[in-house]
Structure 1
């Protein structure tokens, strides 16, 4: 499915829909995304396959993309592990930045992969402590 600035793809296994990929800001040079898997599909490597497909899809786009960003709750260890495994670098930790409808608030973590790293199969470290403030 395609919308002006959003692309949506089903994740299927054995011809059954088990998840969803949503690319936000798809016309921008720096898109971000969501991956959702139903509970019974988790922990089987499907998220990793989906993320690798997504990265290939975005960086193979005719309009050159600079980077891909992802945000996840700090307690979503599985997604954080998957992002790291797929070459994404943790670039930020946002305190109380993920609010739920019930009023609960969680910390959020920002990950990204840059085109250069993807093309060269490298991981450029960030300058976390470049200034004392």
Structure 2
């Protein structure tokens, strides 16, 4: 296990094999680009990369050595000089306690420190997710606009999302 950053509430660290069972119960906690719910597949990816490469990765955040959630980063496309971030606080009981906020601040600072070529970090949030909107704004992210019909919801029409960014100071 590699500790990536520590705050007052949470520790950010690399993903460990024992984390995988809990993480696959949340489809986008190990991959922001596709649901990863198969434990065997997750184990294979972990064995190959540890869920951390220069262009994409997943970190766990924990409190008192208990897994609280995961953070992901990946390149949103060749014309964006930065990363897109996704995060998940796995259990409802752990939400609203500041764990996700602190993890997002630590993760954002880590990505800017490790990637000098990175000029922006962005998150996409469903328009009805007011709690996440408050969290990312509290962490220094600014709302940029609406991505119409960009969020896949099954079944039915894609939903609108908001895009937030934090740029390098």
CA RMSD of aligned residues (A): 2.0
**Taking structure 2 as the reference length, what is the TM-score of the superposition?**
0.63
1:4, CA displacement in angstroms?
A: 5.7
Task: Give 2:138's aligned residue.
Answer: 85
1:9 correspondence with 2:59:
yes
The equivalent position to 2:124 in structure 1, one of 65, 68, 71, is: 71
Once residues 3 and 64 of structure 1 are traced to their aligned partners in structure 2, the CA distance between those partners, rounded to angstroms, is 15
**Runs of 4+ residues deviating >3 angstroms:** none
Classify the secondary structure of the residue corresponding to 1:54. Answer: helix
1:42 to 1:54, Cα distance in 2 relative to 1, 3 A: same
Once residues 115 and 147 of structure 2 are traced to their aligned partners in structure 1, the CA distance between those partners, rounded to angstroms, is 32
Unaligned runs of 5+ in 1: 117-133
Residue-by-residue CA offset, 1:99-125 (whole Å, 9 max, x unaligned): 123335321000001102xxxxxxxxx
